[in-house]
Amino acid sequence: MLNSAHLILGSAIVAETPDPAWGIFLAFLSHYALDFIPHYDGLENKREKDKENKVIDYSMLRYDIPVALLLILFLYIKFGFNLFIFSGALVAVLPDLMDNIIWWRNISKRLFIWRWLFKIHQLTHLVFKGNIKYIKIVGIMTQVLVIVASILWIGF
Ligand SMILES: [Zn+2]
Could you tell me the residue range of the domain that residue 50 belongs to? 3-154
Residues with CB under 5 A from ligand 1 (ion): 35, 96
Ligand 1 centroid vs 63 CA: distance in angstroms? 17
How confident is the model at residue 43, as a pLDDT? Answer: 60
* Tens digits of residue pLDDT in 41-59: 876 545 544 555 555 677 7
DSSP-derived letter for residue 60 is: T
Domain count, the chain: 1
What is the rounded distance in angstroms from the CA atom of residue 96 to the CA atom of residue 31? 9
- 134-152: b (≥16 Cβ within 10 Å) or e: ebeeebbebbeebbeebbe
CA 75 to chain centre: 16
pLDDT exceeds cutoff 90 at 31: yes
Q: Tell me which residue of 85, 63, 64 sits closest to 75, measured CA to CA.
A: 85
How confident is the model at residue 49, as a pLDDT? Answer: 45
What is the rounded distance in angstroms from the CA atom of residue 94 to the CA atom of residue 46? 21
Report the pLDDT averaged over residues 81-88.
97
pLDDT exceeds cutoff 90 at 99: no
Is the CB of residue 73 less than 8 Å from the CB of residue 83?
A: no
Q: What is the dihedral of CA 61, 101, 21, 71, to 10 degrees?
A: -10
Ligand 1 centroid vs 32 CA: distance in angstroms? 7
How confident is the model at residue 125, as a pLDDT? Answer: 79
Ligand 1 centroid vs 31 CA: distance in angstroms? 6
pTM, two decimals, is 0.88
126 or 148, which is more confident?
148
DSSP-derived letter for residue 44 is: G
What is the rounded distance in angstroms from the CA atom of residue 40 to the CA atom of residue 63? 12
